[in-house]
C-alpha cells in the first residue's frame, strides 16, 4: 500500500484553486488525485472514483512528491516542426495583399485553392487549402469564399 500525501492548508487551497481554474481535464483529475490522497483514500479507491488506472494514481502522486503543484500540469510534446518558413509566411502575406490581376491572373480575388497554387509555384512549398486557411487565420487574415455573380456577364437592360 502506498503512503498517502499529507497536505498543509495552503497546499490544499492552492490545489483547489488550480483545480477550479484550469480548463484541462487532466490537470483537474491530477488535483483530485492529490486531494483524495490527503484524505487517506486507497490507490484502488481513487482510481475507481476517477475512472483511471492505479498506475496513473501512483504516477501522479510520485510527480507531486518530486515537483509539487507545477508537476501536475502535463508537458505538451513539441511535435514536428512546421513547414511554413518565415520566407513562406512573408510571401503569403505579400500575395494576399496583392491583387491577382496585377500578377497576370484573370481573376480579382484569391481563393484558398488559387493562393495555394500560386504559393507552391513561387515558393516551392505546398500546402493544402485547409492548412493554408489556418496559416492565414494565424497571421490575422480572414478567409471568405468568393461570391460569383453574373454581373457584367448578362444583359442588364433586358
Q: Both 62 and 99 in a single domain?
A: no
Read off the pLDDT of residues 3-20 as tens digits, 9 standing for 90 and up. 678 999 999 999 999 999
Q: How many CB atoms lie within 10 A of CB 132?
A: 20
**Is 60 exceeded by the pLDDT of residue 66?**
yes
Asked if residue 33 belongs to a domain, the reply is: yes
Asked if residue 45 belongs to a domain, the reply is: yes
Q: Count the domains in the chain.
A: 2
Query: Which of these three, 72, 103, 119, is where a domain ends?
Result: 72
Three cell numbers at 84? 511554413
* The Cα angle at residue 119 between residues 150 and 108, in degrees rounded to 5: 20
Asked if residue 150 belongs to a domain, the reply is: no
Asked if residue 90 belongs to a domain, the reply is: yes
Asked if residue 103 belongs to a domain, the reply is: yes
Dist. CA 119–CA 146, nearest whole Å: 19
Q: Both 65 and 94 in a single domain?
A: no
Q: What is the pLDDT of residue 113?
A: 92
For residue 75, name the pLDDT band (cuts at 50, 70, 90).
confident
Average pLDDT, the chain: 89
**Is 50 exceeded by the pLDDT of residue 1?**
no
Q: Both 47 and 102 in a single domain?
A: no
Provide the b/e sequence for 83-112 (b: ≥16 CB within 10 Å): ebeeebeebbeebeeeebeeeeeeeeebeb
Q: Both 46 and 16 in a single domain?
A: yes
CA distances from 121 to 15, 89, 129, 154 (A): 53, 14, 15, 34
For residue 146, name the pLDDT band (cuts at 50, 70, 90).
low
Read off the pLDDT of residues 28-62 as tens digits, 9 standing for 90 and up. 999 999 999 998 889 999 999 999 999 999 999 99
Nearest to 52 by CA among 74, 35, 32: 32
Terminal alpha carbon distance of the chain: 89
Q: Both 20 and 67 in a single domain?
A: yes
CB 136 within 8 A of CB 128: no
The beta-strand segments (E) located in 3-142 are none
Asked if residue 81 belongs to a domain, the reply is: no
95 Cβ contact partners less than 8 Å away, ≥ 6 residues apart: 110, 115, 118, 119, 122
Q: Both 55 and 101 in a single domain?
A: no
Read off the pLDDT of residues 125-144 as tens digits, 9 standing for 90 and up. 999 999 999 999 999 998 87
Instruction: Note the Cα 124 to chain centre separation in Å.
Output: 27
Residue span of the structural domain in which 36 resides: 9-72
Amino acid at each position: 500500500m502506498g503512503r498517502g500525501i499529507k497536505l498543509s492548508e495552503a497546499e490544499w487551497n492552492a490545489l483547489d484553486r488550480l483545480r477550479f481554474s484550469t480548463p484541462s481535464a487532466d490537470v483537474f483529475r491530477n488535483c483530485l488525485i492529490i486531494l483524495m490522497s490527503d484524505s487517506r483514500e486507497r490507490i484502488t479507491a481513487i482510481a475507481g472514483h476517477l475512472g483511471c488506472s492505479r498506475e496513473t494514481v501512483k504516477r501522479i502522486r510520485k510527480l507531486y512528491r518530486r515537483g509539487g503543484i507545477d508537476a501536475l500540469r502535463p508537458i505538451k510534446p513539441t511535435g514536428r516542426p512546421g513547414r511554413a518558413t518565415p520566407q513562406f509566411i512573408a510571401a503569403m502575406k505579400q500575395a494576399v495583399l496583392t491583387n491577382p490581376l496585377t500578377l497576370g491572373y484573370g481573376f480579382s480575388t484569391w481563393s484558398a485553392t488559387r493562393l495555394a497554387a500560386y504559393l507552391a509555384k513561387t515558393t516551392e512549398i505546398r500546402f493544402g487549402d485547409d492548412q493554408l486557411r489556418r496559416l492565414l487565420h494565424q497571421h490575422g487574415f480572414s478567409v471568405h469564399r468568393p461570391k460569383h455573380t453574373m454581373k457584367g456577364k448578362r444583359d442588364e437592360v433586358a
